[in-house]
Structure 1
Amino acid sequence: MDLRDAIRTIPDYPKPGILFRDITTLLGDARAFRRSVDQLVAPWAGGKIDKIAGIEARGFILGGAVAHQLSSGFVPIRKKGKLPHTTVRIAYSLEYGLDEMEMHEDAVAAGERVILVDDLIATGGTATAAVQLLRQMGAEVVAACFVIDLPDLGGADKLRALGVDVRTLVSFEGH
């Protein structure tokens, strides 16, 4: 089974010229979803990972499953204003301006080993900010895992430049 076959491509979304890689079809295919989670977990099975941090929203789905498989806790990283308790936040650049993400201030403890999970790595802006936020709280970011890499956009290389091990399952050329 090639996981690429379980991912739907939607042309010209969210704007003309973009090929949107939609994992909802992968999530709806029990075998593809299970295989994705198993492959994301494999390098750390049997090791000590304290927390899985998932980036809103598809990172919650994948990250929750990865956390379950590794018997780790789960940390949601959300857009500003969505978490109910005291938070820490970081601003980051998007192609159309600035945004902020946050997590609860007590979500990770200094020295905890954390894996960051999301569905796709493109330019790396969101993932880089999430790594910086986790490190700001004293976490050791062991790795960042994604189902899809868009290597032409350079995001995985940005994370590697920060000393983060990057694991992706499939790559697609272009944007």
Structure 2
Amino acid sequence: MSQSHESQDAGAALRAHIRDVPDYPSPGIMFRDITPLLASPEAFQQAIEGLGKLVPSGTELIAGMEARGFIFGAALAMHLGIGFVPIRKAGKLPAPVNSYSYDLEYGTATVELREGTVAPGARVALFDDVLATGGTARAGVALLEQSGAEVMASVFLMELNGLGGRDCLGGRAVSSLMTL
């Protein structure tokens, strides 16, 4: 799944609400600051409505990646009238949890989901604000599948070109509201 023409139009209008911050958090990195988008009730509503069109029908839950995935994911779930589950960094949830560790370019990270939060066979869409290299999204999908979910799609506010994120998700359904 890719962007529709309608979602590309929504993404283009929203792009004005994303601030580029060069060399943050380190030299050579272009940070995409979504704070102006969140501060505009019109832009935030437009983003949620546009993202809602990217979630496959039949989806029962939105799983949001910590931390910005919580902001959009919870609002998206409410907009769609479905449930929301947070995927947290290690150590943020009380036991028992399902966890998944993955490699980063500078070490490893672990994400967790409260055990029993997702029923076996639940149809879930993963949400995060940015698809860059894809490692975090791939870990979220793996954690959901390990928990028994059927991952319907991975949905992102923005996808960064040239970083291989889509390829990292191995041919799975991926949609983004805008591509930068």
Q: 1:169 aligns with which of 150, 160, 177?
A: 177
Q: Which amino acid aligns with 2:37?
A: L
Residues 1:51 and 2:65 are matched in the alignment: no
Higher RCO structure, 1 or 2 (CA under 8 Å, sep 6+):
2
Describe the superposition over 1:71-118 as per-residue Cα deviations: whole angstroms up to 9, x where unpaired. 111110011000124101000111211010101011111111000011
1:8-157 correspondence to structure 2 within 5 Å: 8-44=19-55, 47-157=57-167
What residue in structure 2 maps to residue 7 of structure 1?
A: 18
Provide the aligned C-alpha RMSD in A.
1.3
Q: Which amino acid aligns with 2:30?
A: L
For structure 1, the residue ranges without an aligned partner over 5 or more in a row are: none
Contact 1:3–1:36 (Cα < 8 Å) also in 2: yes
| Deviation of the 1:42 alpha carbon | 1.2
Contact 2:55–2:125 (Cα < 8 Å) also in 1: no
Query: For the residues of structure 2 that align with 1:104 and 1:38, how far apart are their CA atoms?
Result: 28
Query: For the residues of structure 2 that align with 1:83 and 1:44, how far apart are their CA atoms?
Result: 27
Query: For the residues of structure 1 that align with 2:131 and 2:124, how far apart are their CA atoms?
Result: 18
| Deviation of the 1:49 alpha carbon | 1.8
Q: Which amino acid aligns with 1:18?
A: I
Query: For the residues of structure 2 that align with 1:10 and 1:121, how far apart are their CA atoms?
Result: 17
Query: For the residues of structure 2 that align with 1:86 and 1:40, how far apart are their CA atoms?
Result: 31
Query: For the residues of structure 1 that align with 2:145 and 2:37, how far apart are their CA atoms?
Result: 31
Q: Which amino acid aligns with 1:117?
A: F
| Deviation of the 1:129 alpha carbon | 0.5
Query: For the residues of structure 2 that align with 1:38 and 1:164, how far apart are their CA atoms?
Result: 23
Contact 1:52–1:74 (Cα < 8 Å) also in 2: yes
TM-score (norm 1): 0.92
Give the % identical residues: 51
What residue in structure 1 maps to residue 6 of structure 2?
A: none
